[in-house]
Chains A and B, each alone.
Chain A
Amino acid sequence: MDLCFLSTNITSFVADPLSHEFMRKALLMSSLVAAVCGFLSSYLTLKGWALMGDAVSHSVMPGVVVAYALGLPFSLGAFVFGVGSVALIGFVKQKSRVKEDTVIGLVFTGFFALGIVLISKIKSNIDLHSILFGSPLGISLSDVKQTVLISLLVVILLSVFRKDLILYCFDPRHAKTVGINVLFLHYLLLTCLSLAAVVGLQSVGLVLVVAMLITPGATAYLLTDNFDNMTIISVISAIISSIIGIYFSFWFDLETGGSIVLVQTFIFLFTFLFAPRYGIFKFKKIIF
């Protein structure tokens, strides 16, 4: 009797939101975005590009605003400013004595501020709140198309150049020595980062997108010593976080982006404590 009641409850917990079209769309799109960001995440955490991810995701802001104002696809604007910010970081670092992390902080806050000022000045229907915190429940059809296209592109690029990118993250000097184009790989990874930031932006917003790009990878890194498994775990944990996050946001009326990222953080914390080999409380052998 009690058990029956419970199971009805769980069924409605899972099934009720699915009766809304916007929820089905949000779940699908967020899972896709999470998968792409999770895929990239294993490279970024190993390359040590967390701060770079933060910089790029903030720097795309003016690009999005300008693209909207000019009626261009917002991914294009975001891409230009994302890659542009990194080029600028590299330039300032090389030409001055200021340390790299300072330059990164300096450049991305400058771009971000420009974005905020532009929004306040340019008359448009851009909602600052949805850019900053995401709006997975209000994704339009053209957004869906763009997200699917960009996601496909990123997944294809990361898959084709998978082994080269692993080598680039691991030992760029060897890559160079055997005639592999390291500069190309550097910009390829940056391009993927900018594109992933753009799609992640819709789901959790600009402020939190960096979490999508590093937390799943960090979680996976604590669970395995194999790069392929790391990517798989990263993608799965990202998707699960998105789904659970959206459900919680639906039932308890929470901000969706924050809810998704919070689930990711909890999964990381749990792994941090209980990972079989690399957790605080070590349990025997590694799973994979």
Chain B
Amino acid sequence: MDKLNFKNYRIEAENICVDYHGKVALYDANLRLKAGQICGLVGMNGAGKTTFFNALTGFVNISKGKIRINGESLKIAQQDQTIAYVPQIEGIDSQFPVSVWDVVMMGRYGSMNILRSPRESDIQAVKDAIERVDLMELSSIPIGNLSGGQRKRTFLARAIAQRASILLLDEPFAGVDIRTEKLISELFIQFKNEGKTILLSTHDMIHVREFCDLVLLINKTVVAYGETSEVFTPENITSTFGGMSPDVLFGPES
């Protein structure tokens, strides 16, 4: 891509590598996403999906390659609250003594003063976000008392309150109830219309077909990347999952 086009990409990851104490978790990975695109991140457990997210949020340092967010460095993206990360439900301490409201307010911390004292606008943003995920009546409840789906919605609300333009979602549909699944699906369509860029990891092949414009198949590195209709083929999926037949993964009709 030439320099002029550079700014057009929300996310631009170029040949990134991540290693943990000498063990390679991800190498030569590339990704380019524009505004309004939804991309599915598909791979086995240990294929480097969470590592990819960690690299894009800056939670781990990349050992090689380059990440640009809106054409700027990751540090600027962090300061500008550009990226929101919605964790897997298992990845958080559900017994931590905080309420739904507290968690959603954490989405505003990055743009508050040092004491993190909420302004009127922060309170309004939190209210709006909680309303959008339909948890208003539970806003003072400790997160330990929520169901898995309600907890997932809480963290989605945090990302909404943050007003991020890039959403990274780790297994958004894992372990949630039907109502939450429906609500998340509707939100995805709204996010897309608002021009947000979404990268989501999932095990569910049906969700990829349903929501994702693009798909990124990884197994330590990129196996295939492109439009879902072109790239999401049984052959590619088989090689992503180390030779396992796609029939096993999502039924014979595919």
Binding site for B on A (CB under 8 A): 46, 94, 160, 163-164, 166-167, 169-180, 221, 224-227, 229-230
Q: Are A173 and B78 in contact (CB under 8 A)?
A: no
Residue of A nearest to B76 (CB): A179
**Cβ of B57 < 8 Å from any Cβ of A?**
yes
Q: Are B78 and A178 in contact (CB under 8 A)?
A: yes
Contact residues, B49-95 vs A (CB, 8 A): 54, 57-59, 75, 78-81, 83-85, 87, 92-93
**Cβ of B109 < 8 Å from any Cβ of A?**
yes
6 new A-B contacts at CB < 8 Å, known A46-B93, A163-B116: A164-B116, A170-B96, A176-B57, A177-B85, A225-B144, A227-B98
Q: Are A173 and B97 in contact (CB under 8 A)?
A: no
CB < 8 Å A-B pair total: 75
Q: Are B78 and A163 in contact (CB under 8 A)?
A: no
Partner of B109, one of A178, A229, A230: A178
In the complex, what distance in Å separates the CA atom of A230 from the CA atom of B142? 13
Closest Cβ–Cβ distance, residue B207 to chain A (whole Å): 23
Binding site for A on B (CB under 8 A): 21, 54, 57-59, 75, 78-81, 83-85, 87, 92-93, 96-99, 102, 106-107, 109-111, 114-116, 142, 144-145, 158, 162
Partner of A178, one of B21, B114, B162: B162
Closest Cβ–Cβ distance, residue A45 to chain B (whole Å): 10
Chain B residues positioned under 8 Å from A229 (CB to CB): 97
Q: Are A178 and B116 in contact (CB under 8 A)?
A: no
- Mostly helix, strand, loop or mixed at chain A's interface? helix
Chain A residues positioned under 8 Å from B75 (CB to CB): 179
Q: Are A170 and B93 in contact (CB under 8 A)?
A: yes
Chain B residues positioned under 8 Å from A227 (CB to CB): 97-98, 102
Chain A residues positioned under 8 Å from B59 (CB to CB): 172-173, 176-177
Q: Are A160 and B115 in contact (CB under 8 A)?
A: yes
Q: Are A167 and B109 in contact (CB under 8 A)?
A: yes
Chain B residues positioned under 8 Å from A226 (CB to CB): 97, 99, 142
Chain A residues positioned under 8 Å from B102 (CB to CB): 227
Residue of B nearest to A230 (CB): B97
Closest Cβ–Cβ distance, residue B216 to chain A (whole Å): 20
Known: A171-B87, A225-B142. A177 touches B97 (CB 8 A): no
